[in-house]
Amino acid sequence: MSIEKIFIFIKEIILKLHTHFHCAYNLKYHLVLVVKYRHKCLTEDLLKLAETTCKRICDNWDFDMIEFGGESDHVHILFSAYPSADLSVFINNIKTVSSRMIRKEHSEYLSLFFSKPTLWSRGYCLQSVGYAENKM
């Protein structure tokens, strides 16, 4: 293998790694949040608001939101986090803040679906994502 090929290979590996304090990592997670009772209430406007809110929260946590998608009853968030991150606290933060923001701006519409101030179901799905399955 030539020196140029080795350099390109090393450069590709380094570009895939993130750093945080004294570590280098490449940890990606796929998070799925489901609307309570699977009500099909998420419109394009609500999904856009959820995306901007989740992006802001990821930035506050020093995470990278790689991709966001959703349908009328759930959302998918693909993000990268550092190894020492408390993911359960992060997910609780995402669910709480996004629910409050969405309900604040669209309370009249959401009152058609929910009698109480809620949006997300109690549970969530979080999966680590390998290099080969880096798509939602």
Q: Would you say residue 95 lies in a domain?
A: yes
In a domain, 134, yes or no: no
Q: For residues 77 and 70, give the distance between their C-alpha atoms in angstroms, rounded to a whole number.
A: 9
pTM for this predicted structure: 0.83
Tell me if 16 is assigned to some domain: yes
What lies within 8 Å, CB to CB, of 54 at 6+ separation is: 65, 68, 75, 77, 94, 98
pLDDT at 88: 97
Helix axes 87-105, 44-60, angle to 10 degrees: 140
From first to last of its 136 residues, the chain has per-residue pLDDT tens of 566 665 555 455 445 777 778 888 889 999 999 999 999 999 999 999 999 999 999 999 999 999 999 999 999 999 999 999 999 999 999 999 999 999 999 999 999 999 999 999 999 999 998 754 445 5
Number of separate domains in the chain: 1
The residue segments making up the domain with residue 87 are 3-129
CATH number at residue 120: 3.30.70.1290
- Calpha distance 90→63 (Å, rounded): 10
* pLDDT confidence of residue 75: 98
